[in-house]
Amino acid sequence: MSVVKQTPAHRTTTGPTWGASLTATGIRWLPAIVIVVGVIGFWEAYVRIFDVQKWLLPAPSIIAKTIGVDAGLLWGHTLATMEEIVVGFTLALVFGVALAAAIALSRTVERALYPFVIASQTVPIIVIAPMLLIWVGYGLAPKVIVVALICFFPIVVNMVDGLKSVDSDVVALMRTLGANRWRIFLKVQIPTSLPFLFSGLRIAIAFSVIGAVIGEWVGSSEGLGYLMIRSKPQFLTERVFAAIVILSAMGVTLFALVGIVEKFALPWWHREHGSEI
């Protein structure tokens, strides 16, 4: 054995201590925190100084109070919206990945279906949503379909791009090792596509919140979107804002959740590229 022995030394050189990494996280988020605190402070001051009516623009402190007082009511509607998002997103994930696989595996399927995938995105959801009410009824179904329609597109497009981004030299290597088309798909194309898929999932999950609200606006009896549409004519503006705050928090949380799942699912990707969330 003439090859010089090396030991995995990088384990000790990378990976800062816990304390240092917490401090680093704090510094990373500092700009965001400063901006949020600044905006809220300015808003609060503006409303108080100019004595703006709360039905016109409620102060952050009043919105916070509303969230506290109406917690039970808001929580119920939050769960309803969350259900629509989770079911719709899951449907889009399952069908999106399946369709992307079919498109990547078959030229015929690609030519036949890809134009329709793109065309589906040009149909205004706001027009489709009321039609869905007529077609599938008044319950959970129309909202789930709107969410799924919105999530579907970024998932399919990203996954197809990922499945096609395989290095042709790697395909050649697999063939010389005796792999057939299907093996190459499973062992090379799918893993290559996963980082792309997760990019699509991040976009999809952020859009899904909008999808749920649109679905509820068109016709529903529960959910944060429904609560907003009902509270506005009653001049309960602080409740509208409370719903917006919760929807935003929901969006950020879901987005972060996708990032966390990705970190566990693709540890190799994060080792190479690093990532904020």
Partner 1 sequence: MAVTQHHNESMADHPDSGRNNRIIDVIGLGKDFDQNGQRLAVLSDVDFHAADGEFVSIIGPSGCGKSTLLNIIAGLSDQTVGTLRLRGEDAVNRLGTVGYMQQKDLLLPWRSVLDNAILGLEIQGVSKREARDRASALMDQFGLDGFEHEYPSALSGGMRQRAAFLRTVLADQQMFLLDEPFGALDALNRAQIHEWLLGLWERLKKTIVMVTHDVDEAIFLSDRVYVMSSRPGTMTLVMDVDLPRPRYLEMVTSDAFVTLKAQLLAAIRKERAS
User: CB of residue 267 vs partner 1: minimum separation in angstroms?
Assistant: 8
The contact mask relative to partner 1 for 6-45 (x = CB under 8 A, - = no) is xxx-x-----------------------------------
- CB count, 10 Å around CB of 242? 28
Nearer to partner 1, 9 or 56 (CB): 9
In angstroms, the CA 102 to CA 8 distance is: 41
Nearer to partner 1, 10 or 31 (CB): 10
Give, in order, the Cα–Cα distances in Å from 84 to each of 131, 141, 143, 203, 246: 18, 8, 6, 17, 15
Nearer to partner 1, 6 or 122 (CB): 6
272 lies in the site for partner 1, by CB under 8 A: yes
The contact mask relative to partner 1 for 249-268 (x = CB under 8 A, - = no) is -----------------x-x
- C-alpha 186, offset from chain centre: 26
User: CB of residue 276 vs partner 1: minimum separation in angstroms?
Assistant: 19
In angstroms, the CA 67 to CA 268 distance is: 41
- C-alpha 94, offset from chain centre: 15
In angstroms, the CA 45 to CA 116 distance is: 51
User: CB of residue 127 vs partner 1: minimum separation in angstroms?
Assistant: 42
Give, in order, the Cα–Cα distances in Å from 211 to each of 124, 128, 182, 230, 249: 12, 12, 36, 18, 16
In angstroms, the CA 113 to CA 98 distance is: 12
Nearer to partner 1, 19 or 178 (CB): 178
Query: Taking the alpha carbons of 230, 232, 236, 240 in that order, is the dihedral positive or negative?
Result: positive
Q: Interaction with partner 1 in 158-217: which residues (CB under 8 A)?
A: 167, 169-170, 172-179, 183, 187-188, 191, 194
Task: Choose which of 116, 271, 274, 276 interacts with partner 1 (CB under 8 A).
Answer: 271
Residues near partner 1, by CB under 8 A: 1-8, 10, 167, 169-170, 172-179, 183, 187-188, 191, 194, 266, 268-269, 271-272
